[in-house]
Amino acid sequence: MRKVALGDRAAFGQLFDRYHQLALNLAARVLNERQEAEDVVQEVFLQLWRDASSYRQERGNLSTWIVAITRSRAIDKLRSRKARRVLDLGDNEQMQDFAERLPDPTERPGRLDTQLLMRKAFGSLAVDQRVAIEMAYYEGMSQSEIAEALREPLGTIKTRIRSGLLRLKQALSPDVGN
Amino acid sequence: MSHEKQFDLCPIYALGALDGEDLREFEAHLETGCQLCDQEIREHSERLALIPQALPNISPSKDLKSRLMTKLDEEAKSRGVVEFKPVTKVPPARARQRRSWLPWACAVAAGIALMVSLTRMSNLNRGLAEQHERLNQQLEQLKVLQKLLSEEKEVTQFISTPGVRITPLAGTDQSPQAAGKILWSPQEKKALFYAAKLPAAPNGKTYQLWIIADNKPFSAGVFSVDPQGSAFLKVPSLSEADKAQKFAVTLEPAGGVPQPTGAMHLLGSL
């Protein structure tokens, strides 16, 4: 990132090679549309190019920063087109999104390990916890909006999110930062 | 609200789902400088950043990177050609006085910039040299093509001359793969000769074309072959053409000889 901050295009190209897939997967999951997702990826990397000098490693690793920017921009785009998809508890396909899609065996092993680990961790959550977390994470919905959409008391949603993320913490604790 | 209750909201805040009164109270709590909550939020954020790792890969468009780089160029142009980004904010005057390292840092930065420029210039020169070499190769190819085209034109014009005859020449035991053709005009006493798949002439040797008329050989000229064994020869004055019976090619000492002495490689009869 230091090189990118100095205007090194080759370093920027390497940064793109390393992280664009992660950003694209996330943007595509939020927007459910590839072209818009690619637009988001471009915006994210242009922002990285412009703001590289403001990146501070001690505030978090680079992939965390990229994921945060991508998620924020994708959700903004989602809101702007007012096409928010609300997960339906009866929609099995979306409910099983993480747990049941098989990983691509051609992917590099490191990514495959993380992918399997994350799927396992998500698989360990109760269905209602997972739904609430996904609604917030991918749809950008607040706790009140989730409560309204699911017709559940706000306190119940807060408990689900909190207990779900603590469960995730237990499942991932030895691997965070790897 | 107590610290414990605020602490319980850390995961929801990190997820970005906290809103309303909860959010206002929580942010007010953070402003008090609570290190525990700050640390808890950071840890949750790092875990949450792993969630997209579980997603299946979406194939990007092939030109995604090039489009991004084009945008980068456009942005640089719109801002002015050279973009310089300060890494640190300009310090206040007092602090600036204390920073005696600043001139050194500037010198190092200038040195790095110079090195980058020199490296780029070196790459540019290498690129130019490669382009120059490629251009020369293409010019050579162009010359070969122009020569072939010129020969083709000549043949076409010659064939259209009234009375032109064509005699094939076959390879002898010396060069069974070789073949040739002679186009000759008895009226104009001119000829064009083609040969293919002749072996390269050894050092000090050359091929020679003969016209056999009245059972006597007359030299029609010497020629060499290209790496593919092909040859093309124009015979501007073929005095014995009207009496020609045979055509032959022999391998002779360089410069040719008045009478054939070497091995015969091609032979054709009328």
Give the SS3 label for residue B170: strand
Facing B60 at nearest CB: one of A20, A49, A146: A20
Side chain identity at residue A63, one-letter code: S
With 60 as the cut, is the pLDDT of residue A13 above it? yes
Predicted TM-score (pTM) of the model is: 0.50
| Tokens found for residue B213 | 């008329």
Cβ atoms of A122 and A99 within 8 Å: the answer is: yes
Give the SS3 label for residue B208: strand
DSSP secondary structure code for residue B84 in this structure: -
Confidence of residue B261 (pLDDT cuts 50, 70, 90): very high
Q: Domains in chain B: how many in total?
A: 2
Going by C-alpha positions, the residue among A103, A145, A147 that lies closest to residue A123 is A103
Looking at chain A, list the stretches that DSSP marks H as alpha helix, in order from N- to C-terminal side.
2-5, 9-31, 34-51, 62-80, 92-95, 97-100, 109-123, 127-139, 143-150, 154-172
Where are the domains positioned within chain A? 1-83, 85-178
- Please report the number of interchain residue pairs, chain A to chain B, with beta-carbon separation below 8 angstroms: 152
CA distance B167 to B173: 19
Q: Is residue B108 part of a domain?
A: no
With 70 as the cut, is the pLDDT of residue B130 above it? yes
A30 to each of A74, A75, B52, B211, B261, how far by Cα in Å? 6, 7, 10, 86, 89
Q: Is residue B111 part of a domain?
A: no
Highest averaged pLDDT of the listed ranges A93-97, B237-241, B253-257: B253-257
The pLDDT of residue A101 is 39
Confidence of residue A46 (pLDDT cuts 50, 70, 90): very high
With 70 as the cut, is the pLDDT of residue A100 above it? no
Half-sphere exposure of B263 (CA within 13 A, CB side): 12
Length of chain A: 178
The pLDDT of residue A110 is 53
Location of structure tokens 């549309």: A33
Domain containing residue B178: CATH number: 2.60.40
CA distance A46 to A53: 13
Facing B68 at nearest CB: one of A16, A101, A103: A16
A173 to each of A60, A73, A103, A169, how far by Cα in Å? 16, 28, 22, 5
The pLDDT of residue B101 is 65
CA distance A124 to A29: 21
| Tokens found for residue A162 | 């909190």
The whole-angstrom distance between residue A126's C-alpha and the CA centroid of its chain comes to 19
For the segment A78-87, the average pLDDT, to the nearest whole number, is 60
With 70 as the cut, is the pLDDT of residue B204 above it? yes
Instruction: Find chain B residues with C-beta within 8 A of A136's C-beta.
Output: 15-17
With 60 as the cut, is the pLDDT of residue A12 above it? yes
Going by C-alpha positions, the residue among A68, A40, A42 that lies closest to residue A55 is A68
For chain A, what percent of residues have pLDDT higher than 90?
A: 34
pLDDT in tens, A138-167: 888 999 999 998 889 999 999 999 999 999
The pLDDT of residue A177 is 43
Q: Is residue B49 part of a domain?
A: yes
With 70 as the cut, is the pLDDT of residue A19 above it? yes
Confidence of residue B90 (pLDDT cuts 50, 70, 90): very low
Half-sphere exposure of B42 (CA within 13 A, CB side): 13
pLDDT in tens, A109-132: 455 567 777 878 888 888 899 889
DSSP secondary structure code for residue A52 in this structure: G
pLDDT in tens, B140-152: 778 777 777 777 7
Side chain identity at residue A58, one-letter code: E
For the segment B233-249, the average pLDDT, to the nearest whole number, is 80
Nearest-Cα distance to chain A for B100, in Å, is 22
Rg, Å, chain A Cα set: 17
Q: Is B269 left (phi over 0), alpha (psi -120 to 50) or beta?
A: beta
Q: What CATH number is given for A85-178 in this structure?
A: 1.10.10.10
Find, in chain B, the residue whose alpha carbon is nearest to that of A160: B12
Instruction: Find chain B residues with C-beta within 8 A of A8's C-beta.
Output: 116
Q: Is residue B221 part of a domain?
A: yes
Q: What's the complex ipTM?
A: 0.76
Cβ atoms of A76 and A47 within 8 Å: the answer is: no
Cβ atoms of A62 and B93 within 8 Å: the answer is: no
Least confident of A8-12, B28-32, B80-84, B218-222: B80-84
What are the backbone angles phi and psi of residue B56, rounded to the nearest 5°? Answer: -70, 155
The pLDDT of residue B162 is 78
The pLDDT of residue A56 is 75
Q: Is residue B169 part of a domain?
A: yes
Strand B264-269 relative to strand B165-171: parallel, antiparallel, unpaired? antiparallel
Nearest-Cα distance to chain B for A157, in Å, is 10
CATH 1.10.1740.10 fits A1-83, yes or no: yes
With 60 as the cut, is the pLDDT of residue B80 above it? no
Say yes or no for a CB contact (<8 Å) between A9 and B69: yes
CB contacts under 8 A, A 35-94 vs B, are 37-38, 41-42, 45-46, 49, 52-53, 60-61, 63-64, 67-68, 70-71
pLDDT in tens, B216-225: 888 889 998 8
Half-sphere exposure of B37 (CA within 13 A, CB side): 21
The pLDDT of residue A20 is 93
Least confident of B100-114, B156-170, B194-208: B100-114
The pLDDT of residue A90 is 39
| Tokens found for residue A72 | 């924020």
The pLDDT of residue A64 is 87
Q: Which domain holds residue B220?
A: 165-269
Side chain identity at residue A26, one-letter code: L
Q: Is residue B200 part of a domain?
A: yes
Among A3, A14, A21, which would you mutate to test the B interface (most chain B Cβ atoms within 10 Å of its Cβ)?
A21
CA distance B29 to B34: 7
For the segment A166-175, the average pLDDT, to the nearest whole number, is 78
Say yes or no for a CB contact (<8 Å) between B56 and A21: no
Domains A1-83 and A85-178 alike in fold: no
With 80 as the cut, is the pLDDT of residue B117 above it? no
For the segment A94-116, the average pLDDT, to the nearest whole number, is 48
Looking at chain B, list the stretches that DSSP marks H as alpha helix, in order from N- to C-terminal side.
3-8, 10-15, 20-31, 35-48, 64-79, 93-98, 102-159
